[in-house]
Amino acid sequence: MRCSTWRRKSYDCFAVVLFSLVATHADIDLETVAQLSNGSSEVASSALADSQLVSGAVVLATCNRYEIYGETPHVENLEAARSALVTQISGLSGLNEQLVSRAFSTRTGPEVSRHLFAVSAGLDSAVVGEREIAGQVRRALITAQHEGTASSGLVRLFQAASKTAKDVGAQTALGSRGLSIVSVALDLATDLSENADWSTKKVVVFGTGAYAGATMSLLRERGCTDVSVYSSSGRAEAFVATRGGTALDAETLPAAVAAADVMIGCSGSDTRVEAAELARVRALSPQTLIAIDLALTHDFDPAVGELDGVELLTLESVRLAAPQEQAESLAQASTIVSGAAAAFEQEREARSVDSAIVALRRHTMSVLDAEMEKVRARHGCTAAAEEVEFALRRMVKQLLHIPTVRARELAANGQQDEYVAALEALYGIQVEQPVAAAPAAECPVDHQQAPQQAESA
């Protein structure tokens, strides 16, 4: 079917289609989010390798959301591309396809940019205005670029999202209090403690990823100096070398936990603290232990919260306790996000008419070249012929100026299908739809361990 016979929005017709699959704390429980996220590091590369319908993919997996941003060459492929991703997620997570499909909501068109921009700005977080999510959005793009799964359209989308987050931070008071999931969790721990002085507390941190780094920084701000770090992957020594603290191994971990006032899980590794083992280790400990589990897949057995002398705080605890930002700040941030999303979509509309502009220029220049061949055949390569060619090319450039401007104006209003129909009616020009770039060669790096699930969350 020729594009000129369609009567749809321009992003359906001449540009590749962006879409997203979204599963967050706002719609489903965090346990399901965690289950869906199993194997998240392999989803994008597997989808591109197994299906030509997915021409780009970026995965955003955090402690309370799992989102896949995809690109498909044509709108007719959208449902099939979504199904391809659902199949990949099902295979990697071990969940059946129907459950996976129901867990994800699908966004297309302008809703894709509006949602991602709001996420990056912290408007869709459990802790509204949190700082950490903007960095996670940036890292999601970097990972996709490294693995060769980020198409040019998705790169522009994520870069625009990061810029929007910066604008919200610079132009509003949202997040100025430095709220984050970690900070709210520490506030809760303070409320539960008999002694609110963090300088007297002994803390054990599990993990060496981004959350662990943020935790170390906030503990220092609160005056806590007795911090030990354990990493099941053996990265604790390198981690404390730049952040302070004491590195633990499997032999020294039990004694540190026995003496701890607080333990904080940030790793999401396959190894977790079981309730029975914790009860044994803490059998002679007189003080209450506050266990803060910030890992989506649980560093601590949920049953530890039932032990005597243990208070368990989870991501759900943080979500319920997160303070609300001022309505004025939220309104300002929402306005910035909406404006940025609208500008991004206008730019996409303008880009989508590029094929038509190129086709018109190619047609016009081919006519010019044919005429110049006649001139050279009659007059040879003389100065007169060169003057004629110079004059004709200048005239063609002037003639193309207004059609080019009009093309971009129509594209900005979603009317480039009318422009293409006019080119076909007037000149017989057939505009070819852009072909999505092939995915990059497979990355030789082993990505079996999901970054967000294994100490880089």
Distance of CA 110 to the CA centre of its chain: 16
Say if residues 375 and 393 touch (Cβ distance below 8 Å): no
How many Cβ atoms are within 10 Å of 67's Cβ, its own excluded? Answer: 23
Contact, 106 vs 19, CB < 8 A?
Answer: yes
Give the pLDDT of residue 23.
Answer: 94
Nearest CA among 3, 25, 149 for reference residue 76:
3
Percentage with pLDDT > 90 across the chain:
49
Q: How far apart, in whole angstroms, are the C-alpha atoms of residue 100 and residue 61? A: 15
| Res 441: pLDDT | 37
What type of residue is 430? Answer: Q
At residue 403, what are phi and psi to the nearest 5 degrees?
A: -60, -35
Residue 79 has pLDDT above 80, yes or no: yes
Query: Widest CA span of the chain, in angstroms?
Result: 105
The correct CATH number of 3-177 out of 3.40.50.80, 3.40.640.10, 3.30.460.30, 1.10.10.10 is 3.30.460.30
Percent of the chain with pLDDT over 70: 86
Task: Using CA atoms of 13, 154, 95, 63 in order, give the dihedral in degrees to the nearest 10.
Answer: -140
Q: What is the pLDDT of residue 150?
A: 95
Helix axes 78-93, 30-37, angle to 10 degrees: 90
Whether the CB-CB separation of 23 and 65 falls below 8 Å is answered with: yes
What is the CB neighbour count within 10 angstroms for residue 406?
Answer: 14
Over the stretch 330-359, which tens digit does the pLDDT of each residue have?
889 999 999 999 999 888 777 667 777 787
Report the C-alpha gap between 265 and 455 in whole angstroms. 10
Report the C-alpha gap between 24 and 285 in whole angstroms.
Answer: 38
How far CA 52 is from CA of 46, 48, 447, in Å, comes to 11, 7, 22
Amino acid at 370: A
Q: Residue 442 carries which DSSP code? A: P
At 407 the pLDDT is 72
Tens digits of residue pLDDT in 178-201: 677 888 899 999 999 988 999 999
Band of the pLDDT at 438, cuts 50, 70, 90? very low
**Rg, the chain, Cα only:** 28
Contact present, 55 and 48 (Cβ < 8 Å): yes
Please give the mean pLDDT across all residues of the chain.
83
**pLDDT digit string, tens, across residues 384-421:** 778 888 888 888 888 888 887 887 777 666 676 777 77
DSSP designation for 300? B
* pLDDT reading at 104 higher than 60: yes
Among 83-92, 100-109, 121-130, 347-356, the least confident range: 347-356
Going by pLDDT thresholds of 50, 70 and 90, the confidence category of residue 302 is very high
- Looking at the chain, the domain(s) classified CATH 3.30.460.30 span 3-177
- HSE of 311, CA atoms in CB hemisphere, 13 A: 17
> Please, where are the H alpha helices in 121-196?
132-147, 152-171, 181-192
Confidence at residue 172, expressed as pLDDT on a 0 to 100 scale: 87
Averaged pLDDT for residues 191-214: 90
Average pLDDT over residues 258-285: 90
Active-site residue list: 63
Cα–Cα distance, 71 to 54 (Å, whole number):
6
Q: What do you get for the CA distance between the two ends of the chain, in Å? A: 46
Query: What pTM was computed for the model?
Result: 0.66
Would you call 275 exposed, middle or buried from its count of C-beta atoms within 10 A (0-12, 13-18, 19+)? Answer: middle
Q: Where does the chain hold its CATH 3.40.50.720 domain(s)? A: 181-320
Q: What is the mean pLDDT of residues 419-426?
A: 78
DSSP code per residue over 30-51: HHHHHHHHTTHHHHHHHHHHH-
| pLDDT over 50 at 105, yes or no | yes
Give the orientation angle of helix 327-352 with respect to helix 152-171, to 10 degrees: 150
- Read off the pLDDT band of 454 (50, 70, 90): very low
> What is the dotted CATH code of the domain comprising 181-320?
3.40.50.720
pLDDT for position 410: 74
Residue range 257-286: mean pLDDT, rounded:
91
- Predicted confidence at residue 250, as pLDDT, reads 92
**What pLDDT does residue 446 have?**
35
Q: 2: exposed, middle or buried (C-beta count within 10 Å: 0-12, 13-18, 19+)?
A: exposed
CA distance linking residue 135 with residue 49, whole number of Å: 28
pLDDT for the residue 285? 93
Which range is least confidently modeled, 149-153, 241-245, 404-408?
404-408
pLDDT, greater one: 36 or 377: 36
* Dihedral (Cα; 165, 167, 172, 174), 10-degree rounding: 10
Collect all residues with Cβ–Cβ distance below 8 Å to 41 and sequence separation of at least 6. 59, 143, 447, 448, 449, 450, 451, 452, 453
pLDDT score for 304: 94
φ, ψ for residue 381, nearest 5 deg: -85, 65
Helices 416-427, 354-379: inter-axial angle, 10-degree rounding: 30
